Each structure stands twice: as C-alpha cells, then as structure tokens.
Amino acid sequence: MMTSKTQLPKQTLLIIQKLNSQEQKIVLGSLEKKIEEFTNEDFKSLHKLLLKWGKFIGLKEAPDDEQMFMLVVFVKDNFTKMSLAEITNAFNLAIAGTLNINVEHYNSFSPIYISKIFNAYLEHKKEVMYKMHKLEEEEAQKEREKPLTEEELEQKNKENAIMVFKQYQAEKTVPDYGYVIYDYLIGKKLINFNKEEKTEILAEAKRRAIEDGERHLKSNVTAEIKHKIRESIMNINQHDSKRSEIVIKYCKNIGLKKYFDSLMTDPVKQTEAMKVFSL
C-alpha cells in the first residue's frame, strides 16, 4: 500500500509535489515497509504480487507453487531494501519502456528476469532520489535565508543573550560577536554606564585594539595589509578612536563583560533582567 501523502510532513509533501507523477511514486514507494522488515503475512502479499505480474506480462503458464516459493526467497535474499510498492513501480516502468531494458520474458519468469527489472529500477531510482535530495537542499537553503519575523528575532536574541551569559559565568569569556548581544541589551535599557565607566571602557578598548594591531604586524601578512594596520593604529592613538570599528567592537565586548559582572552581584540588575527575559 502506498504511503498516504497526508501522513508526510508538510515540507516533505511540498517538495514531492515538485516532482512529476512518476517520480512521486518512486519517492513514496521508497518510504514503504521494506522486505527486510516483512512478516509472514507480508511475504504472502509478495507471493501474490509476483504471481500477478507473472500473469500480467503474458506467461503462457504461471509458475507452480515451488517455483513461486523459490522466487519469493530469491527476492527476500537479494532485494531486501525494496517495498511492494517499488516492485509494482519496477514492473510498470519496465513494461512502459522507461527503464530502457528488454522486457521480453521468453515465457520464463526467472530470477534472472526479475533481477534485470529490479536492478534497472534501482538505478533509475537513484536519479530520482538525487533530484529529491537537491530539492530538499534548495528548500533548506531558502529556509535558512528566510528573514525572521519580529517575534522570531526577539526570541533568538533572548536565547543568544542567555547562552552568552551562561558561557561568561562558566568561562569568564564572551564570543567575538558579543557586541551584538551588547547592542540588544542596550536596546532593552539593561546596560547604562556612567561617563566615568565609559571613559574607562574606551581606554581599555584602545589598548586592546592597538595590541591586536601590533600582534598582526609581527605576523606573515602583506606589505599592503601592514600599511593599513599601521594607519589604523595611528588613527586610534590620535583622534579617530571613537570611529574605529575595531575599537567600537572592543568597547562593546568589554562593556558586556562589565555588565555581566554586575549582573551576578547586583540584585536590582538581576530583577530588571528577569523581567525582560521573563525568567
């Protein structure tokens, strides 16, 4: 029995619908119960199905019980990953000429004849499943690139902020993208440094940015990059530090750590954060 489309996840169903009807049957057939999972009742159904196709292809004389038993055992041992639906697909496509094989049976419903049809079907199935896989990849990529709703973005920002805070509690470090969390917390009015604190943070950020630049100057970089680094250090030392992107990121990461330190000891800040994060 073919898998009902209503039983499939919505996303999988939408992808399958992009295939033609023949390809859809192949994909759906691959989702059916496999021979390796069959019960005795299932093997009876396999027996009936093979006998039906033997008659359908025009055998003058149907195989006797012993021959049919041996055919069932042969299929059971050699095509364990196929389902009844796929066996039907295989015969249908072979007879229709889709598998590009000679389906003349010469009045012999033999293991060789069945193997030729099943193996040709499995090769054809690979092409269809690859096509299905590519469609799934494309849909997954679209989903990843899909803009978040305001609610989804808010939830993601909350989760990231909590994760980074827990990391800081355990390791006393914040990730390079800590400045993003800082901006989020500023927007929530949880971070509010006074003028003196801001001056201290800026001085520390300038020091780290310069150290970072000097370290890169000692590395194996091109002359052009070294020139840009020296220019950046000069600007930081003179008058452009507040407009320096690297200094701004250092300020935010240092500020984030400072806020986390206070959050772990200040009950008022803890209460404010709990309200924002609904904890």
Residue pLDDT, tens place only, 27-71: 999 999 999 999 999 999 999 999 999 888 888 887 888 999 999
CB 68 within 8 A of CB 21: no
Q: Are residues 11 and 37 in the same domain?
A: yes
Q: Are residues 202 and 89 in the same domain?
A: no
Q: Which tens digit of pLDDT belongs to each residue from 119-157?
A: 999 999 999 999 999 999 998 888 888 888 899 889 999
Q: What is the maximum span of the chain, computed from C-alpha positions, in angstroms?
A: 100
Query: What is the model's pLDDT at position 237?
Result: 73
Q: Are residues 157 and 268 in the same domain?
A: yes
Q: Are residues 183 and 74 in the same domain?
A: no
- Which among 120, 145, 170 is the end of a domain? 145
109 vs 128: CA distance, rounded Å: 27
Q: Own/partner pairs for 191-194, CB < 8 Å, 24+ apart?
A: 191/255, 191/256, 191/259, 193/255, 193/258
Q: Are residues 165 and 135 in the same domain?
A: no
- Which among 145, 173, 190 is the end of a domain? 145
Q: Are residues 156 and 257 in the same domain?
A: yes
| Number of H-type helices and E-type strands within the chain | 12, 0
By 3-state DSSP, what share of the chain in percent is helix, strand and coil, each rounded to 5?
75, 0, 25
CB 161 within 8 A of CB 181: yes
Q: Are residues 13 and 123 in the same domain?
A: yes
Q: Are residues 169 and 263 in the same domain?
A: yes
Q: Are residues 138 and 13 in the same domain?
A: yes
Q: Are residues 80 and 157 in the same domain?
A: no
Q: Are residues 190 and 141 in the same domain?
A: no
Q: Which domain holds residue 248?
A: 150-277
Q: Are residues 89 and 130 in the same domain?
A: yes
Handedness of CA 146, 149, 154, 158 (dihedral sign): negative
Q: Which tens digit of pLDDT belongs to each residue from 211-259?
A: 877 887 778 778 888 788 787 777 777 655 556 788 888 899 999 999 9
- Taking the whole predicted model, whether its pTM rises above 0.75 is answered as no
- Which among 116, 145, 174 is the end of a domain? 145
CA geometry: angle at 226 spanning 222 and 229, to 5°? Answer: 140
Q: What's the structural domain count of the chain?
A: 2
